[in-house]
Structure 1
Amino acid sequence: MSIPVSTYRLQITSAFDLDAAAGVLDYVSRLGADWLYLSPLLTAEEGSDHGYDVIDHGSIDPARGGPEALARLSERVAAAGRGILVDIVPNHVGVNTPHSNAWWWELLREGQGSRYAEAFDVDWPAGNGRLLLPVLGDGETELDRLTVVGDELHYYDNRFPIAPGTANDGAPAAVVHDRQHYELVNWRRADADLNYRRFFAVNTLAGVRVEVPWVFDESHREILRWVHTGQVQGLRVDHPDGLADPAGYLDRLHAAMPDGYLLVEKILEGREQLPSSWSTDGTTGYDALADFDRVLVDPAGQDALDALEATLQDGAVSWAELVYTSKRAIADGILQSEVRRLDRLIPEVADSADALAELIAWFPVYRSYLPVGRPELDTAVRLARQRRPDLDATITALLPYLTDPTHPAAVRFQQTSGMVMAKGVEDTAYYRYSRLTSLNEVGADPSEFAVSVDEFHRRQQTRLAVAPASQTTLSTHDTKRGEDVRARISVLAEIPDEWAGLLAELRALAPLGDAPFENLLWQAIVGSWPASTDRLIGYAEKASREANLSTTWTAPNEDFEDRMRALVRALADDGPLARTVASFVDRVEQAGWSNSLSLKLIQLTAPGVPDVYQGSELWEMSLVDPDNRRPVDYTVRRDFLDRVQAGWLPPIDETGAAKLLVTTSALRLRRDRPELFGRHAPVEAFGPAAAHVVAYDRGGAVTVATRLPVALARTGWGDTTIMLAGHDWQDALTGARFDGGQVRLADLLSRYPVALLIPASAAESPPHPPHLSLSRRSPRA
């Protein structure tokens, strides 16, 4: 059973298909990455750039190259001695165009009599025996716009099937509609009345029940064919928390691919660990991302930034309270239909929706996996009773149902809590809390401001012991800000008073009247500068609507949004706004680059399987999707790689070539010298600037990274040293040699803020062949 040493994530689209991926394999291999990591490949909705809206489980998307292209790619990957990891989507399918999804089309045509009624999670009684489809506009006579076309009902460009024998009498379209197994309703009814499970609040992604054996078989037959024919060596499971039985699903998937590498996209809250019973090699690494970011944040800046946030929010902000209010609003709003469905599953307890929503709002993690996770439910019960003592009797009555793993309500509660967490925290609270937005990242807790170096080492040792095959990551298609945007924003913790002054100046020049959002927006602008106007407008619109305060998705505030867009457009002119921003970026840019190089080296050398998101070997200045799925220019990256491998030591500048040097040096060393990465031991620093270094020995390879560069620039390293073993050392980045023993950081880090040291004897000996190690799975595997 093999695991990758590292992965390189590629977004496979119609514009960058599987043959294009084959075209960059040589570059990725020379960069030093081990396996390719591909976004979903099954046939998706036409025009989908992400692939999470699968419409046909039986085929590779022709737009992404089809089966022939995967065969060609896998042959080249195998010849290069690499592997392929593919993202799969078991929780939901795309239903935006019903006629393109055979399962959904038959369900609409045949209703409860359809074979596929068992595949979808539909509450038929709640729709009076019909499936509610929220597609109609706001007009009172929208059904008059229906037309019968052959054996279909059409509503504008939307097509729906007609059940056999229900239109033979030539009845008007509206009458024919009333005879169908579905009912077209106003789009606004989805929030409260939807009667099919979906992905979060996306009406066009319908949940499927992979816990049903034949549904698993038919939805995974093509995927497992890739594994069994050796075309694919690993799978990444998207959103397992949406499934009725994640552990059972993983058991079945592992049984079908016992020698494969199996990851789950699981968000862990705080110190939460993966259930030890899961048959998986680990997570996709958001928990690691949070630790890597925070060890580079200056804890001394917290009080000043807390005070600024309190001023902007008109009072001290409690992250826990903000999470609660955001989640409760989601449970009462766009996911109310899910709470009402839970209520219907427990008819023995009257009027339980309010209590259920309260429990979900206080649930401290994404979900439980009963009987695992019962303490989290107990926590939610305690907090809900404290907040709403009037609900005590109802909560008490609900507990026998919610704690019984076999009860449908308990299963559904577990599926629902994760939805509300994702929408309430990641897609709402993250956009309302502006203290230091580099901390507002997927899988992270913004209330944890910084991590000490000692705590950082402890967490890495835990990861090595508990989940050595888990991925680590810095940027993905889901991150709210690219890694180097976050690295620059984190500098603000070192100069909080300067930031407060700048923010006041910017707000005076371009007021929006929403102080916390202005703080969040200006951090994004400074962090990504110089981003294009279109990119920044796209971010500003999405961020402001997700915050759901000054404007919303369903009722945009045109006046606010016009002023917001005008603010962004003004940055394109050489006026006071642009000059003010540019001047401040000049102040923090070098420190941001220092953070970036430290962040990258730490991620690539820390315990776990590091993933490099496409193109992030240069500066990754993306904002939230779809900005982070922009095309990557591999021509410039090839050129830089050629020059680096020819001996070029690039300057630290806007090109990002220095980051490519760090990336390729670390990746190649991990791949070619795995024996140097078997442990995690802190390397202590001594001297006046000891707080400015993170250093550790991975078993021969020693990482040295700078932290808090603004303060360091004022004092320098002075006589600060680290203690190494007494043999000679070589920096894998620069080739510079150093004597062992006490090593002065001023000498070691004279060119770059990072160093990757290896024994000089190892540098002189030929590399070992790529290392294949045994997967470490749970006992039940």
Structure 2
Amino acid sequence: MIVPVSTYRLQITSAFDLDAAAAVLDYVTALGADWIYLSPLLTAEAGSDHGYDVTDHGTVDPARGGPEALARLSEQATTAGRGILVDIVPNHMGVNTPQDNAWWWDLLKLGRESRYAEAFDVDWPAGHDRVLLPVLGDGDAELEKLTVVGDELHYYDNRFPLAPGTADDGANATVVHDRQHYELVNWRRADADLNYRRFFAVNTLAGLRVEVPWVFDESHREILRWVRTGAVQGLRVDHPDGLADPGGYLDRLQAAMGGRYLLVEKILEGREQLPSNWSTDGTTGYDALADFDRVLVDPAGQERLDALEAALQAELSGADAPVSWSELVYTGKRAIADTILQSEVRRLDRLIPEVPDAVDALSELVAWFPVYRSYLPVGRHELDTAVRLARQRRPDLDATISALLPILTDPDHPAAVRFQQTSGMVMAKGVEDTAYYRYSRLTSLNEVGADPSEFAVPVDEFHRRQQTRLAVSPASQTTLSTHDTKRAEDVRSRISVIAELPDEWAAVLGTLRGLAPLGDAPFENLLWQAVVGSWPASTDRLIGYAEKASREANLSTTWTAPNEEFENAMRDLVRSLAEPGPLRDTVTAFVDRIRQAGWSNSLALKLIQLTAPGVPDVYQGSELWETSLVDPDNRRPVDYGMRREYLARVTAGWLPPVDETGAAKLLVTTRALRLRRDRPDLFRRHAPVEAFGSAAAHVVAFDRGGAVTVATRLPVALARTGWGDTTIMLAGHAWQDTLTGAHVAGGEVRLADLLARYPVALLIPASATQPESAATEEVAP
């Protein structure tokens, strides 16, 4: 198996297709990345900018360039010595436009007699042998708006097939509708009544049963052709937790791939480890992201920020006792189980007729489930934890829970399989998409795959975790920004500075809230941190973020019932930032206060990620400052012309200042990527490098087996004292800093000298200078 040294993620869309990817391949190569990593390529819903709504498994999306463009890109990548990693989506298909999905269209047309009835996860009895489609607007007369057009039923622009012969007698559209294998129902019924499995709560993404052999074969034939012909070298599996049997799926996929590189998008909670029986080379790296962020957070700020959060939560709730993170997680998950995913819990309940009225107990168990899911018999202890916590919270459910336990622990029982699929949905929607937006203590910690209750990671614990990663999953990806991150890496880096200035932040927040009150204290804290972290951001971007964040929090406003008064005030707040005045002045003054420290954190974060154990991924464009917020903001076009210019100058010897251009980050990125790609022999281990002196707490340093990373942490306090007498100890031979080219004598090294230009250094033995190709590699401007 060939493992990439690093990857560079590209979002392939109609506006940036596979030929556009080929056009930046020379740049990516010169930057130093080993493989390119592509978003889903199969034909998706028209206009999709992400590709996770696949409608046809048989071909590369023509809007993304089609199979010919993939062939051209593959040929160029092979010539350049690059590999290709492709994201695939086995869990679901896009069904927003049924006419574009032949499988779904056939299912709707023929019902249970369709060949594809086995492919989609439909509970037919619950719909009286019809698929419930939640597409109708409000009002009793919506069915009267149906029309029969040829062999189709139309509802506005929505098209649905007619079962053969059901309209031959000229009956009106309502009567014809009643004869179909589907029933068009009000969109609000999806929460409780939907009878097909979805991706989370997205009605337009219908779950697939890839555990059925022919479904696997036909949905993977084109993907596996890419692998077998050498067009791509590896695959990344989206959301395996939604599958009935993730382990079995991965066994089959890995066998079909012939042992090539295979990653999974798996969210690990806390110290949870990837199941050891999975046929995969690792995760997409959210677990690493959490550690990288937290080693740069000042633990001294926790007590003050805890107190601020408690006060804000109390102001919102009116309760005397502060609301804990664990309580927010429980309430968020329970609310999801009772609302937008209640249909999933009800379907689970229907599989257990021998335990009557089990919906409440099942909802309680999924609300307390501590990780995304178990993989029975692996993970049985997680269910035991949920049982214990549910009984403590709801002793009145003890008897029902006891009756459920032997069923939910039987790996072969359909209800046990369904419970495992459901717990992950509730976790994702209740935590990532709810609790993360209700908890505002330090929002750089509210990231996918991270535990916001863990405030900081001590340096020695950070090293221990990296050593574990190297030993357990050395081929696992590491990341800082993705298409799914809530805040991009440099937004988080700046927000993390607040931990060093908790009292100043409390005062600034008080001023901002006084100038533009919204009446939702935790959300105001979350919003203002996003503004500060991404500043200067356009009004449209900030309004888009504010609308999404407030609706996800589901307190002051919601997706299904927007609070216009609250949202108008929120939009006015954001718009006022574009005008001179005290609100804008307060924001810019605080950003000026923390900007340099944020940049220091960003450079440290980037160098640590690129040189730590694992396969580092660079998200498109993040070699410069990446200040995106949650999607779709993080899918904006990338200016590769500017990046080419900066890379050419850096390659020619330019040592850019640490300023708003972000060119210093590109310097760090290209030097680290080139070194890892060209000198893998310098990255064989992870050994802590100890610091000594008055500012020893302000450095994290490690030796990867010849390459030594030195990174500044807690820069605000360091600026007050300086490095002083602080040193690190290196081997006694001569060294060279690959970032600046400076030569460093071995032995005791003063950090005041080593880090005089940049807050980071990447050292290699002077005898191990990079190959000439790396030093002189050029990219066209």
1:746-765 C-alpha deviation (Å, 9 max, x unpaired): 00000000000000000176
Pairwise mapping of residues 497-508 of structure 1 onto structure 2 (< 5 A)?
497-508=503-514
Q: Does 2:276 correspond to 1:276?
A: yes
Secondary structure of 1:313's aligned partner:
helix
2:318 aligns with: none
2:714 aligns with: 708
1:744 aligns with: 750
2:595 aligns with: 589
Q: Which residue, 549, 554, 558 being the options, matches 1:548?
A: 554
2:610 aligns with: 604
Matched-pair contact (CA < 8 Å) for 2:535–2:591: yes
1:143 maps to amino acid: L
1:389 maps to amino acid: P
Post-superposition offset of 1:170: 0.3
Matched-pair contact (CA < 8 Å) for 1:385–1:392: yes
Q: Does 2:642 correspond to 1:650?
A: no
2:732 maps to amino acid: G
1:260-307 C-alpha deviation (Å, 9 max, x unpaired): 110000000000000100000000000000000000000000000000
Pairwise mapping of residues 434-473 of structure 1 onto structure 2 (< 5 A)?
434-473=440-479
1:416 aligns with: 422
1:229 aligns with: 229
Matched-pair contact (CA < 8 Å) for 1:468–1:609: yes
Q: Does 2:760 correspond to 1:734?
A: no
1:148 maps to amino acid: V
2:573 aligns with: 567
Q: TM-score, normalised by structure 1?
A: 0.98
1:620 aligns with: 626
Q: Which residue, 668, 672, 682 being the options, matches 1:666?
A: 672
Which whole-Å CA distance do the structure 2 matches of 1:382 and 1:762 have between them? 56
1:745 maps to amino acid: L
2:66 aligns with: 66
Q: How many residues align?
A: 769
2:723 aligns with: 717
Which whole-Å CA distance do the structure 1 matches of 2:210 and 2:233 have between them? 22
1:176-231 C-alpha deviation (Å, 9 max, x unpaired): 00000000000000000000000000000000000000000000000001001100
Matched-pair contact (CA < 8 Å) for 2:674–2:774: no
Pairwise mapping of residues 314-713 of structure 1 onto structure 2 (< 5 A)?
314=314, 315-713=321-719
Which whole-Å CA distance do the structure 2 matches of 1:264 and 1:38 have between them? 14
Which whole-Å CA distance do the structure 2 matches of 1:352 and 1:680 have between them? 50
Residues 746/419 of structure 1: CA separation in 2 closer, same or farther (3 Å cut)? same
Q: Does 2:312 correspond to 1:312?
A: yes
2:117 aligns with: 117
Which whole-Å CA distance do the structure 1 matches of 2:757 and 2:421 have between them? 51
2:778 aligns with: none
Matched-pair contact (CA < 8 Å) for 1:2–1:259: no
Secondary structure of 2:769's aligned partner:
helix
Which whole-Å CA distance do the structure 2 matches of 1:129 and 1:74 have between them? 46
2:266 aligns with: 266
Which whole-Å CA distance do the structure 2 matches of 1:372 and 1:319 have between them? 27
Q: Following TM superposition, where does structure 1 have runs of at least 4 consecutive aligned residues deviating by more than 3 angstroms?
A: 764-769
Secondary structure of 1:722's aligned partner:
strand
2:317 aligns with: none
Which whole-Å CA distance do the structure 2 matches of 1:294 and 1:219 have between them? 40
Secondary structure of 1:726's aligned partner:
coil
Matched-pair contact (CA < 8 Å) for 1:673–1:768: no
2:396 maps to amino acid: D
Matched-pair contact (CA < 8 Å) for 2:683–2:705: yes
Post-superposition offset of 1:139: 1.2
- Greater CA drift, 310-319 or 241-250: 310-319
1:52 maps to amino acid: Y
Matched-pair contact (CA < 8 Å) for 2:239–2:264: yes
Post-superposition offset of 1:768: 10
1:778 aligns with: none
Measured on the aligned residues, the alpha-carbon RMSD in Å equals 0.9
Secondary structure of 1:397's aligned partner:
helix
Q: Which residue, 758, 762, 774 being the options, matches 2:768?
A: 762
1:775 aligns with: none
Which whole-Å CA distance do the structure 2 matches of 1:182 and 1:486 have between them? 46
2:88 aligns with: 88
Which whole-Å CA distance do the structure 2 matches of 1:288 and 1:362 have between them? 25
Post-superposition offset of 1:317: 2.6
Which whole-Å CA distance do the structure 2 matches of 1:101 and 1:302 have between them? 51
Residues 768/499 of structure 1: CA separation in 2 closer, same or farther (3 Å cut)? closer
Post-superposition offset of 1:256: 0.5
2:176 maps to amino acid: V
1:51 aligns with: 51
Which whole-Å CA distance do the structure 1 matches of 2:725 and 2:389 have between them? 52
Where does structure 1 lack aligned partners over 5 or more consecutive residues?
770-781
Which whole-Å CA distance do the structure 1 matches of 2:286 and 2:246 have between them? 19
1:33 maps to amino acid: A
Which whole-Å CA distance do the structure 2 matches of 1:320 and 1:513 have between them? 24
1:451-474 C-alpha deviation (Å, 9 max, x unpaired): 000000000000000000000000
1:6 aligns with: 6
1:339 maps to amino acid: V
Which whole-Å CA distance do the structure 1 matches of 2:74 and 2:120 have between them? 33
Which whole-Å CA distance do the structure 2 matches of 1:343 and 1:577 have between them? 52
1:625 maps to amino acid: D
Matched-pair contact (CA < 8 Å) for 1:700–1:758: yes
Secondary structure of 1:188's aligned partner:
helix
Which whole-Å CA distance do the structure 2 matches of 1:765 and 1:511 have between them? 58
Where does structure 2 lack aligned partners over 5 or more consecutive residues?
315-320, 776-781
Which whole-Å CA distance do the structure 2 matches of 1:733 and 1:526 have between them? 29
Matched-pair contact (CA < 8 Å) for 1:673–1:767: no
Matched-pair contact (CA < 8 Å) for 1:319–1:446: yes
Which whole-Å CA distance do the structure 1 matches of 2:358 and 2:223 have between them? 41
Which whole-Å CA distance do the structure 2 matches of 1:240 and 1:453 have between them? 33
Which whole-Å CA distance do the structure 2 matches of 1:156 and 1:353 have between them? 36
Matched-pair contact (CA < 8 Å) for 2:678–2:770: no
Matched-pair contact (CA < 8 Å) for 2:702–2:710: yes
Post-superposition offset of 1:259: 3.4
2:198 aligns with: 198
Which whole-Å CA distance do the structure 1 matches of 2:636 and 2:336 have between them? 30
2:358 maps to amino acid: S
Residues 768/642 of structure 1: CA separation in 2 closer, same or farther (3 Å cut)? closer
Which whole-Å CA distance do the structure 2 matches of 1:591 and 1:656 have between them? 14
1:164 aligns with: 164
1:373-428 C-alpha deviation (Å, 9 max, x unpaired): 00000000000011001100000101111000010000000000000000000000
Secondary structure of 1:59's aligned partner:
strand
